[in-house]
A and B are shown apart, each in its own frame.
Chain A
Amino acid sequence: MAQKVIEPETRKLVCNKCQQEMAMAEVSATYLGANFEIELMKCPSCGLVYVPDSLATGKMEQLELSLEDK
């Protein structure tokens, strides 16, 4: 299953380890065997991904709950 979720990010975020500015990139999210493509802030060097509070406690949580009922 693939579904696109886009979460705009306005803050300037820097990966502390690589000292690289993070940028929007396609990342994959997995839960209970289902896969999703999401646009999230990601470190271009080490791949560290940022999941904002609003996503985790909003759309992502809804998605988790509906997958749990599958």
Chain B
Amino acid sequence: MLMDRQRVRDRENQCIQEQPPTCTATCPIHVDARGMIDSIRKQDFSAAFAIFNRFVPYPRIISRICDHPCQGECRRNEVGGTIQINALERAAVDYSTKRAGGVTFSSRKSQRIAVVGSGLSSLTVAYDLASKGFQVVLFEAADRLAGHLRELGEDRLPQQAIDDDLAVLKDLSIEVRLNARVGEGAGAAASLSALTEEFDAVYLGVGPDGAAAFAHELALNEDGRIAIDSLTFATSNPKVFAGGSQRYAPAAFSPITSMYDGRYAVLSIERLFQKASLSANREQQGAYQTKLFTSLKGIAPAGAILMAAPEQGYSREEAIAEAERCIHCECLECVKVCEYLAAYKSYPKRYIRDLYNNYSIVLGMHLANKLLNSCAMCGLCGTVCPEKLDMGDYIREVRQATVEINKMPPSVHAFALRDMEFSTGEQFTLARHQPGHDASSYVFYPGCQLSASSPGQVFQIYGHLQQKLEGGVGLMLGCCGAPADWSGRENLFKETIAAVQKQWQGLGSPRVITACSSCYRAFKNFSPAMPIESLWTVLDQVGLPASATPRAARTVAIHDACATRHDNGVQDSVRHLLEKLGVQVAELEDNRSLTTCCGYGGLMSFGNAEVAQKVIDRRIHESEADYLTYCAMCRDNFAGKGKRSYHLLDLICGSGEDDPARKGPGYSQRHENRAKLKTRLLREVWGENVADEKEPFELIITPEVAQLMEKRMIMVEDMRKVIAHAESTDEKILDTTTGRFLAAFRPVSVTYWVEYSVEGTKIVAYDVYSHRMEVS
């Protein structure tokens, strides 16, 4: 299905990583406290100051007297005590080597605004408007600015700090008129109506008791103060706005609330000029509840750093130590558990957008193809995400859409799809009733990977099931189509599932018993008509074969299969079986629904071998114990990296295919094992006379060449085709220095080369490689 922009956006919004931390959300003007504190932690006080100053026009004043509602909501409070945010602001101001954040000017605008009063709300209005390019005239009744602030006392707020902060008024060319009382009667510099005549807007920040002078011109509320809309700061006169302690009295003076009033009154004044709605889109104005989730798991409690000299505030070192206590609130729950998400150094909200852009780009490079093809589609992220956002689901959609528009890089999944083609082809598929039965109550579906890894165990377990279950146990060999699903080949996947369904119906629609977690999931989700049970549940019910001997002396740690992370029943059965086998079990911390992928899911190892390696590495180092898996790919992947791992059937069958240190078979051997399993079953179970496939010549493959074949994903059958073609057509090149032949053959879209020599009736291979480019 092609992608829908709106659905993508909805998904992006589901990720709350970019929501602010509680400190910022609670601060009325949303200071980026986390960012500021990060800078202090990095000992960069100037950067911290710049961040603070970006939000706060009067940093020296606020850093000393803010009533810091942020601190009440700081998450650190739950583990040792709230971060002293305001004290850190002061440290940022005190230890910054740059004195001002620098005023930025916007283009000059024609509108003029009168600001009445010089408390924090008025000063903020003046600053914000002037820095946006408006012309501001500030009217102050007294002979100096900020009279109220100056009365707070030298130790709370030094005069010097006020003067330093107010210097900015001059930088902004704000016209200040002192001794200029606005109101009625003798000695007034101007009346409000005169100001509304002369100016485009007026802001009144007249202190808690300043209403009387405007009683005739503005509506008052029942407390006798100017009636002010608490969201827009509008008064009854559309050109006049008001705020500050006049609005929130009799509540005590709150510096940050006054600054907030000024800031959002400015928003209204701008909207007045733009003739826009004053009240629209103000949901996140002022303190609000953030949606950000932050886990406190693993955070050691630590109390606030105390000041050696409280009147001086934090020393540099104290401030840095306090900043180190900040837990840098953010979500990243999924990134913490997923190597793939961590590898690209960002988080789903961004990835979702990047992947959509990568999909919709028409010209140019698709730089995010690797991001697209590295996910294991294992569902762990969706399990741990507080918003249940599952990247795997999204990745499937994008892969499908990318395939649909023909932009999936051809080489990524080609090999896996060929492997699947083998497993859905003549050489492997089979559907039979139990010999001597013409109906089946059950059918055993071992899956293609177990059949490739441990064909002997499949044979043995099928025998056991026939003995234990009534009504006939049929057998079906094939592939559920998971690789098609993972690679975004939606149609191929549907066809594959449909083919399995048809065979199943051909057997009379019996209950399906599968030994593979991926098959289990695929059938359960995409073929709900098929009643499916896991082999483990069935064995738990019918009992183990006599060969099942409790031999694993060491404790095993269970690695649950990611495809059945939400199937508690399957997981319980596995544990019951281990108990019956007398095996000691150590649970991994991330077990059951929190289990990880083994690096095979989503065809991750084909899309990004490096990340797949990291996934495996991380998992195998979680415990010293031998691992116990119940998926063939998990076992082979872990064992391939040197982790001793059992498949549950190793313990159940006791057949000799059960050394936990054994490496899984290579790609070619996997094909051969599947084909041979089918032949063996036909011969030994159904008594059919199946002729051996006779190879026309003996091919000698040295261990070095075998290694190259794995690395380069070349099958022995490809090599045989090259040699057969060269020998029959004589299209080959003789290297006269070595006496060896060099020959190529291109069955479909890949050209394979083999370097070989003919030694009597035998062929010896020395090198093998391939390319997709066509050369002529």
Contact = CB atoms under 8 A, between A and B. Distances in A.
A63 B736 CA distance: 30
B769 A13 contact: no
Contacts of B751: 51
Contacts of B733: 13-16, 22, 41, 43, 48, 50
Contacts of A41: 733
A11 B737 contact: yes
A14 B744 contact: no
Interface stretch (B327-335, B364-372, B628-636): B364-372
B772 interface: yes
B774 A50 contact: no
A66 B774 CA distance: 16
A28 B753 contact: no
Interface string A13-56: 11111000010000111111000101011010001111101001
Nearest to B729: A17
B771 interface: yes
Contact of B742 (A36, A40, A50, A61): A50
Nearest to B772: A64
Contacts of B704: none
Contacts of A60: 771, 773
Contacts of B729: 17
A4 interface: no
B772 to A, nearest CB: 5
Contacts of A12: 735-737
B741 A16 contact: yes
Chain A interface SS verdict (over half) = mixed
Contacts of A32: 410
Contacts of B774: 29-31
A46 to B, nearest CB: 8
B409 interface: yes
Interface in B755-776: 755, 767, 769-776
Contacts of B365: 66, 69-70
Contacts of A29: 773-775
A56 B776 contact: no
Contacts of B734: 13-16
B606 to A, nearest CB: 13
B773 A13 contact: no
Chain B interface SS verdict (over half) = mixed
B411 interface: yes
B732 interface: yes
A13 B741 contact: no
Interface string B290-330: 00000000000000000000000000000000000000000
A34 to B, nearest CB: 9
A38 B771 CA distance: 15
B776 A28 contact: yes
Interface string B717-741: 0000000000001111111110001
A31 B750 CA distance: 11
Contacts of B731: 16-17, 48
B418 interface: no
Interface in B355-382: 364-367, 369
B712 interface: yes
Contacts of A56: 753, 769-771
Residue among B366, B411, B772 facing the most chain A CB atoms (10 A cut-off): B772
Nearest to A19: B734
B771 A61 contact: yes
A49 B771 contact: no
A69 to B, nearest CB: 5
A32 B407 CA distance: 11
A69 B730 contact: no
Contacts of B773: 29-31, 36, 60, 63-64
Given A13-B734, A27-B776, A51-B753, A69 B771 contact: no
B776 A49 contact: yes
A65 interface: yes
Nearest to A22: B733
B776 A47 contact: yes
A27 B773 CA distance: 12
Contacts of A53: 753, 755, 767, 769
Contacts of B755: 53
A16 B730 contact: yes
Nearest to B412: A68
Contacts of A38: 775
A28 B663 CA distance: 42
Nearest to B767: A53
A3 interface: no
A61 B713 CA distance: 14
Contacts of A30: 773-776
Contacts of A28: 775-776
The 6 A-B pairs with the shortest beta carbon distances in the complex, nearest first, are A68-B409, A56-B771, A31-B773, A17-B730, A12-B736, A14-B734
6 contacts: A12-B735, A13-B733, A13-B734, A27-B776, A31-B774, A60-B773
Given A51-B775, A69-B365, 10 more contacts: A13-B733, A14-B733, A16-B730, A36-B773, A40-B775, A48-B731, A53-B755, A61-B771, A68-B412, A70-B365
